[in-house]
Each structure stands twice: as C-alpha cells, then as structure tokens.
Structure 1
Amino acid sequence: MSQAQEWISICALTALRPGTGACALVQGKQLALFRPSKEATLYALDNIDPFAQASVLSRGLIAEHDGALWVASPLKKQHFRLSDGHCLENPDFSITSYPVRVNGDRVEVALA
C-alpha cells in the first residue's frame, strides 16, 4: 500500500515572479522552484548543479527546446528539463524533480 504524499507549504504564489526561479530550503534540501509564465504552472528541481557541485540552478535561464521547458545552469550551461530533471547534454547527470502544486494561494511541494 502506498503512503499519501505529504505536501509542504513553501511560499505564496505571488512570491514567485513569472519567468524566473527561486531557491527554497525544504527539510534540509535546496530546491529550485520555477514559474515560467504568469500561469500557475510550477516546477521543482534540486538546486545543486551536478557538474559544478554548486547551488545555482534556481538562478538559471528558462528556455524552450523541442516543445519542453529547460533551465540552463548559470555556471556550466548544461540544460535540465523542468518537468523531470533530465539533462540534455548528459543523462548520467540528470537531477531529481519534485511534485509541486498551488493550493489556494500557497505553493506546496512533496519531497517523497
């Protein structure tokens, strides 16, 4: 039997500016939260760039490639797909993605 996801409130939706990312520390994990547009579609990934071992992905540029949204690391420029953390240049370095939702006016994430 699977356990229900525990949703953790992070911030108000209005705290995330459209077209940008933001870093959040959630139960000891650094997450990169992305809000690509004014819509309430959000993405959550690990914030650690696996190539540079630095907490920088939340500061990366959001781009579209082959119909998917990606974040380009500000250090080494590798691209990570927002929907699942897949690395475009090297799938051996893909990162963890997390379920994220808007509940009322709050952004919530599930870590497990």
Structure 2
Amino acid sequence: MTALREDLETTRWTPVCSYADLLPERGACALVGDRQIALFRAFDGSLFAIGNHDPFSGAHVLSRGIVGTRAGEPVVASPMHKQVFSLTTGMCLDDPAVAVPTYPIRVTGETVEVGFP
C-alpha cells in the first residue's frame, strides 16, 4: 500500500456543503474545526481545497479570489495583492518560497467533504 493511500485511509472527513452549492470557477469558504478552508469547483467538476488565509495580506480572502489557470494548472489569484496560488499544490507561483496548505476533498453522495489527517 502506498503512503498516500494509507494517509487517505486514516483521514478524518468532515462534511462541508452540497456539491451543487459550489459554483464552477467560484470560491466558497467553510469553517472546519478552527480552520478556514477555501473550496473551489472547476468547470470540469474537479474540486480543490486550500487554506483561506492569504499569507501576503494576512486576511482570510483566498476563497474570494479570481479562479483560472496558469500554464494549464488550476490557480486562484488573491483578491488583495494578486499573488497566484496553485489549487493543487498550494504553492505561490509568484513567490515559490510561500505556500498555503492544501486539503484532500471528495464527494460522498452529493456532499462535499474535506479531510484532515
């Protein structure tokens, strides 16, 4: 068994919303425990979950950012200072020394769930 598979098997999943509640190419914020999570649904239906905290401005605003792609990679641009973050890795594409956390996300039935180890 791979390490990733083992990690997902021990992940605690928290329901956050209905899949239909997430609009394509728009962000939404969910409070999971004490963490603000930015949720995104791409036009192809894929889901992404990253931390909502913008490390450059200190504000919890990434869910309100502009969603798009850069070199084919799904990204969100912070609404504050426009730094771009990968939705798959959390890395800031404008400053690779900075990243936001990413979280596993899945759909069970029609419910979106975010995972924590």
TM-score range, shorter chain: over 0.9
Q: Map 1:15-94; keep pairs closer than 5 Å.
A: 15-37=21-43, 39-94=44-99
Unaligned runs of 5+ in 2: 1-5
| Partners of 2:25 and 2:68 within 8 A in 1 | no
Deviation at residue 68 of structure 1 after TM alignment = 0.4
Q: Which residue of 1 aligns with 2:12?
A: 6
Letter in 2 for 1:28: D
TM-score (norm 1): 0.93
User: Are the equivalent residues in 2 in contact too, given 1:32–1:45 (CA < 8 A)?
Assistant: yes
**Structure with greater strand share of residues:** 1
The 8 Å contact of residues 48 and 54 in structure 1, kept in 2 or not, is answered as: yes
Q: Structure 1: which 5+ runs fail to align?
A: none
Structure 1 CA distance for aligned equivalents of residues 26 and 56 of structure 2: 21
1:4 Cα deviation after fit? 1.0
Contact 1:81 1:88 in 2 (8 A): yes
CA contact (8 A) 2:24 2:45 kept: no
Letter of the structure 1 residue corresponding to residue 30 of structure 2: A
Q: How many residues align?
A: 111
What's the CA shift for 1:63?
A: 1.3
How far has the Cα of 1:25 moved from its partner? 0.3
| TM-score, normalised by the number of residues in structure 2 | 0.90
Cα RMSD (Å): 1.4
Matched, 1:110 2:78: no
**What is the DSSP-based 3-state SS (H/G/I as helix, E as strand, rest coil) of the residue aligned with 2:97?**
helix
